Structure 1
Amino acid sequence: MREGEVEKLRAVVRDCLGKHLYSSAIFFADKLATLAGNATQDLYMQAQALYLGKQYRRALHLLRRHHLITADLRFRYLAAKCLEEIKEWDECLLMLGDSEVDEEGNLLVMDDQDTELLDKNIEEREISIGAAVCLLRGRAFEALENRARALRWYKAALKADPYCYEAFEHLIDNHMLTSEEESVLLSSLKFDPEDRWLSLLYSCRAKKYGQVSVIEEKFQELEKEPDESRPEEERVGCSLKDNNDIIACRADYLYHQGEFQRCYDTTKALLEKDPYQLNCMPFHIASALELGRKNDLFLRAHNLVQEYPQKAISWFAVGCYYYCIRQFDHARRYFCKATTLESSFAPAWLGFANSYAAQDESDQAMAAYRTSARLFAGCHLPALCIGMEYLRTNNLNLAEQFFLQARSICSTDPLVYNELGVLAYRNRDYDTASRWLRKALQLVPPPLTEAWESTVVNLAHSLRKLKSYPEAISMYERALSLFPRGASTYAALGFTYHLQGKTGKAVDYYHKALGLNPHDTFTAEMLTSALQEECLRLSSAPDAEFYSLSGMPHIS
């Protein structure tokens, strides 16, 4: 067959692949390989067509029959991808070779082919085949539940090529690294100067507790239009303001800062523009749950189940709806289904555990939280929730251990310090409690929102116990500015004035508290006591005595 005709057939195969006509591509690739004398490049194209047509075993057989697996790393990688698709993970790892990495993702032992390709300079911007091999090793080890080795290979993939986004996604979404470890990894990546936007985006996608001003600056740079009048190397800005992933990343940031309403508004606007943007869906659903938007949760869950019945996010949404309407048994069933579909979906595991905790089923909740802690070693929330369960059951020593463990994983989450403050308060160590609670409020980004009202109240209680009444009153008033209908806060404020002997003001605040919660027996009793004390004070005041005597006749 003439060379021109062979090239024409190759062009047809490439076009079929480009147009997703996989059966046609397989048909023509098979004829091309025969007519061209089984040339290596044509056999590779045929194997690719078989892989894309989901004929994985046939593609693997083709590569083995022509002894192509040892010819080039590309063939070995394609064979390993076929094994990945048919879930033969051990054989997949054998296919990829005996390479090894250390805990930081640095290569220790490499095959000759791997070393040659990883050391090769990429003249045009394409993903390194070595990085793809490292990523596939990581996925295989994760499927075999060897998360420690999977973590190493994901790091190696990202270090081999920072453009290997899937490796970064596995590390971040599966909570495989602590906040500090994420920072160290990102600082070790070698980005080209023109890739600053990618470096900024990775930094914003990492854990978002603390460093509020730094993260805001990065968002601003990503969203800012560059000044075209300045030299190219001096331009600041990346023009990604309207990019969906940037908006989803900002929604994630808002959720972790406790700004649930802003997060909900942001994700709602994004989903109106792109209803199938799943990156922002967990934050949208979680913020809707926090805000009690049960109608939105119902509609969103219904649509997701119709469109994506095999995705964990769909059944997570159903579970959140039932959790919102307090049908915890149903919620637990759907959270469990979400974890079955995707075992590494952290929100579903936490929802599953929380649904047990909401019904005071502590043992089952603890078991689910411990599973979450094992699966998501870089996430501090399972340890924090275990500590909260121990605190609820009055096991204060174990509660403290888990709170400190959560703090070691993430030292910048204000919720951790709030719980440490509550623990110290329960231990009657009010000075320590006030220190922890002040630390929590320092870490909350301004302006303070209603979500942190309980932390302000906790600090006010601690200050009252320390007899710092003026500061305690200031904190109670601050809490009321965040949540004006806090009956217990009005009662506590009245009690603080009562302790100062200012029974008149105490009576006013007790009345406000009972107006919001008429069934509060403690406030009713304290109101009676304050009224009695106020009457005694007035009856024994000098002015009262003067006016009572002024009506008597003067006796000389």
Structure 2
Amino acid sequence: MSSRRSSQAFSTPVPTGRASTLSRPESNLGASSASLPDAPALTSGYSASPVPAGSSHNSSILSISPIARVLQIPATPQSASATPLPPTTKNAYPFGFGSDMEATSTPVINSSGTASGLQDADAPLSQADRLRLWRHDALMQHQYQTAVFIGDTVLSITDDPNDAFWLAQVHYNTGHYARARQLLMRQELDRSASCRYLAALCLTRLSKWDEALLVIGETNPFQNDDDSDATSDGGIKLEASMCYLRGIIYSNQNNFEKAKDCYKEALTVDIKCYEAFDELITNSLMTPVEEWEFLNSLRFDGNEDGELVKLLYTTKLNKYYNTNRFFEAEQQLQTKYNLEENSDLIQSRAELLFVQCRFRQCLELCEKVLDRDRFKFSIIPLYLACLHELEKKNKLFLIAHEMAENHPEEPVTWLTVGVYYLSIHKIAEARRFFSKASMMNPHFGAAWIGFAHTFAVEGEHEQAVSAYSTAARLFQGTHLPSLFLGMQHLQLHNFTLAEEYLDASYNICKTDPLLLNEMGVVLYHKNQLNQALEFFFRALKVADELDSDTKAWVPIKINLGHAFRQLRRWPEALEHFEEVLRVSKHEPEVYSAIGLVNLQLGRTEQAVINFQEALSLAPNDPVSWDLLKRALEENANSMISKNDG
């Protein structure tokens, strides 16, 4: 099994040629910082009280518009925002934006296409409503200076909290987070859940995590609310968004357990809060088993689109576990929902192919997605890993140059540059760019793993162990950092520590063939050969269940051959070595191993041929030279004995 593999969040490849193999009989193990910022000082201008229970937390802000517009479809849109003209109404702001900041219901649409109880669309608009439309269309057309100018004007005229909210939205969209926050503080808007959410969002953009937590509250004040129905407008519950934002804050305070709980609560409140789901999966906050258990615990039946959402989420889960469920979900999405060409579904299939070590097919799917969306950042780490595996250095150079030119602000850009330098063996440069990516996003798993790999590939084991340990602390739901730590200690012949880390990795994921292979290697070195055989056979079985590429199990077969050789079970050892050569003929250590077996069986002439074949592939291998010398001597002695006889 190739050691250069990873899960969705950790697609940076291990920069060595293979997984641990037991050649002659030593292990040819190949395994493949920036500190997190301190939390800012507490300087909140808000009280620490939770969001008032009277706020409209159980609604979305999907339908919050500058004014309540009649739901009709005009033949020709009056503006770029393509929304019909609004009535003038006292209750124009549903979902908590009325003058009393209490929740109101969505207007009921009658058969004539107008909102029940609202003024007819042909009625003249007030000056304030005309200004609101102007501001709203300017916002939709990204004319932010106009939106700020008119938004400030209408706020001065009306002194309406809703107008303050929308002016703050404009400031937020232009990146003026402090200005938006100041506006929301100046207006007495803390009774509105939406305004507190926006204020906290601004503070997170300013990296004021403690202050943001004070604004939004440390816990969900609505968790005991019995009103758990889906929003009537099909949007995302504001309560769920607030739970998600609370999780972001805890994550940046390095409180990952609380962050995980907040993300899970967000999805429990509303399954449509995909941002929370993505944080859980991308940052490996849950083990593969926990992911499936949590998915099964969610209430999808209470949502009209529940089946679709569940199928989509199913394709995003860890690919080492329940692959049959993935295939079933993929089939339904393709046939029932016509999502065969959906880029996210194609990406999920590519992730499975990568786990199966089918790198060429995975690369084809990655390129198919990138042809449509050149800068789909979520698939780029996977694409980079495939390019590195297949040694596509020119393509790596091109995408690194393209990313640096177009998106220098994205952490994945510098991951791309780092992988390129890693592929051309400029390790110091690769390390610098991996470090830069991890500093831009301290929760970028691929960058941390890549950073650690740069030490591992140079044999700087202490630094590699330190970097992998950081990754293991940050990403507790993935088995890969612990696996790489075990591989490092195995290379250092610290077999006890290696076993501890591999056991920790095994407790997270029991279905990774690479991990099972490494555990077998540790047992081999501890001379527990029969137990080692069990793990090697289990690794082969799992690789077969994953439908892995045939070449992926070559190191496992080699290790099986060595274990049988040590047990002096010569026919079985030869069987596995020869099976490897039928798949991959360029394996010098396998020829040497076959030569050793033939030497033990007294077939000295055949052993000489085997060692010569090994040296033809690796002419500078000193062990093969020593074994060839020994075989020649024994062959000569054998011939002398025959002649004397």
Deviations 1:284-329 (A, max 9, x none): 1112112222222112111111111121111111111221122211
Match of 2:570 among 436, 452, 469: 469
1:204-283 to structure 2, matched below 5 A, reads 204-223=315-334, 225=335, 237-283=336-382
Q: Distance in 2 between matches of 1:66 and 1:411?
A: 55
1:432-451 to structure 2, matched below 5 A, reads 432-444=531-543, 445-451=546-552
Moved more, 467-476 or 132-141: 467-476
Match of 2:155 in 1: 33
1:14-29 to structure 2, matched below 5 A, reads 14-29=136-151
Q: Distance in 2 between matches of 1:40 and 1:318?
A: 47
Match of 1:528 among 626, 632, 637: 632
Match of 1:201 in 2: 312
State whether residues 267 and 273 of structure 2, in contact with CA within 8 Å, keep that contact through their aligned partners in structure 1: yes
Q: Distance in 2 between matches of 1:154 and 1:120?
A: 19
Match of 1:64 among 185, 206, 209: 185
Match of 1:551 in 2: none
Cα gap change, 1:319 to 1:531, in 2 (>3 Å): same
Match of 1:103 in 2: none
Q: Distance in 2 between matches of 1:22 and 1:152?
A: 37
Match of 2:240 in 1: 131
Amino acid paired to 1:16 = A
Amino acid paired to 1:73 = A
State whether residues 230 and 237 of structure 2, in contact with CA within 8 Å, keep that contact through their aligned partners in structure 1: no
Deviations 1:11-30 (A, max 9, x none): 22221221122221122222
Match of 1:307 among 375, 382, 406: 406
Match of 1:233 in 2: none
State whether residues 494 and 507 of structure 1, in contact with CA within 8 Å, keep that contact through their aligned partners in structure 2: yes
Deviations 1:365-410 (A, max 9, x none): 1111111111111121111111111111111111110010010111
Match of 1:416 in 2: 515
Is 1:79 matched up with 2:199?
A: yes
Q: Distance in 2 between matches of 1:201 and 1:220?
A: 11
State whether residues 356 and 549 of structure 2, in contact with CA within 8 Å, keep that contact through their aligned partners in structure 1: no
1:467 positional shift = 2.5
1:539 positional shift = 6.0
1:41-190 to structure 2, matched below 5 A, reads 41-70=162-191, 72-99=192-219, 110-111=221-222, 119=228, 121-190=230-299
Is 1:478 matched up with 2:579?
A: yes
Equivalent residue of 2:126, what SS?
helix
Moved more, 193-202 or 241-250: 193-202
Q: Distance in 1 between matches of 2:367 and 2:125?
A: 57
Deviations 1:42-64 (A, max 9, x none): 33323322322333333333333
Match of 2:432 among 330, 333, 353: 333
1:512 positional shift = 3.0
1:506 positional shift = 4.0
Cα gap change, 1:73 to 1:185, in 2 (>3 Å): same
Q: Distance in 2 between matches of 1:413 and 1:536?
A: 52
Q: Distance in 2 between matches of 1:353 and 1:66?
A: 49
Q: Distance in 1 between matches of 2:171 and 2:342?
A: 35
Match of 1:230 in 2: none
State whether residues 460 and 476 of structure 1, in contact with CA within 8 Å, keep that contact through their aligned partners in structure 2: yes
Match of 2:47 in 1: none
State whether residues 514 and 524 of structure 1, in contact with CA within 8 Å, keep that contact through their aligned partners in structure 2: no
Amino acid paired to 1:170 = E
Deviations 1:191-210 (A, max 9, x none): 24643232222222121114
1:128 positional shift = 0.7
State whether residues 161 and 187 of structure 2, in contact with CA within 8 Å, keep that contact through their aligned partners in structure 1: no
State whether residues 604 and 632 of structure 2, in contact with CA within 8 Å, keep that contact through their aligned partners in structure 1: no
Structure ranking higher in helix proportion: 1
Identity of aligned residues (%): 34
1:534 positional shift = 6.4
1:505 positional shift = 4.7
Q: Distance in 1 between matches of 2:533 and 2:288?
A: 26
State whether residues 117 and 129 of structure 1, in contact with CA within 8 Å, keep that contact through their aligned partners in structure 2: no
Equivalent residue of 1:119, what SS?
coil
Q: For this pair of structures, how many residues does the alignment match? A: 516
Is 1:382 matched up with 2:503?
A: no
Is 1:9 matched up with 2:9?
A: no
State whether residues 148 and 170 of structure 2, in contact with CA within 8 Å, keep that contact through their aligned partners in structure 1: yes
Amino acid paired to 2:314 = S
Match of 1:297 in 2: 396
Q: Distance in 2 between matches of 1:354 and 1:400?
A: 20
State whether residues 252 and 280 of structure 1, in contact with CA within 8 Å, keep that contact through their aligned partners in structure 2: no
Amino acid paired to 1:495 = L
Unaligned residue ranges in structure 1 (runs of 5+): 101-109, 226-236, 546-556
1:342 positional shift = 0.9
Moved more, 130-139 or 209-218: 209-218
Amino acid paired to 1:50 = H
1:530 positional shift = 6.1
State whether residues 294 and 321 of structure 1, in contact with CA within 8 Å, keep that contact through their aligned partners in structure 2: yes
Moved more, 152-161 or 12-21: 12-21
Moved more, 239-248 or 189-198: 189-198
Amino acid paired to 1:155 = K
1:39 positional shift = 3.0
State whether residues 22 and 53 of structure 1, in contact with CA within 8 Å, keep that contact through their aligned partners in structure 2: yes
State whether residues 379 and 409 of structure 1, in contact with CA within 8 Å, keep that contact through their aligned partners in structure 2: yes
Equivalent residue of 1:509, what SS?
helix
Deviations 1:167-213 (A, max 9, x none): 11111111211111111111111124643232222222121114333
Q: Distance in 1 between matches of 2:473 and 2:420?
A: 27
Q: TM-score of the superposition, structure 1-length normalised?
A: 0.87
Cα gap change, 1:94 to 1:251, in 2 (>3 Å): same
1:316-395 to structure 2, matched below 5 A, reads 316-395=415-494
Deviations 1:427-478 (A, max 9, x none): 1111111111111111112354323311110111111222232222221122
State whether residues 230 and 270 of structure 2, in contact with CA within 8 Å, keep that contact through their aligned partners in structure 1: no
State whether residues 245 and 279 of structure 1, in contact with CA within 8 Å, keep that contact through their aligned partners in structure 2: no
Q: Distance in 2 between matches of 1:298 and 1:263?
A: 19
Q: Distance in 1 between matches of 2:640 and 2:541?
A: 44
1:157 positional shift = 1.0
State whether residues 69 and 79 of structure 1, in contact with CA within 8 Å, keep that contact through their aligned partners in structure 2: no
State whether residues 498 and 506 of structure 1, in contact with CA within 8 Å, keep that contact through their aligned partners in structure 2: yes
1:245 positional shift = 1.3
Q: Distance in 2 between matches of 1:203 and 1:523?
A: 53
State whether residues 491 and 510 of structure 1, in contact with CA within 8 Å, keep that contact through their aligned partners in structure 2: yes
Q: Distance in 2 between matches of 1:272 and 1:46?
A: 38
Q: Distance in 2 between matches of 1:125 and 1:287?
A: 39
Q: TM-score of the superposition, structure 2-length normalised?
A: 0.75
Q: Distance in 1 between matches of 2:317 and 2:419?
A: 25
Deviations 1:205-241 (A, max 9, x none): 1211143333333323323x2xxxxxxxxxxx33211
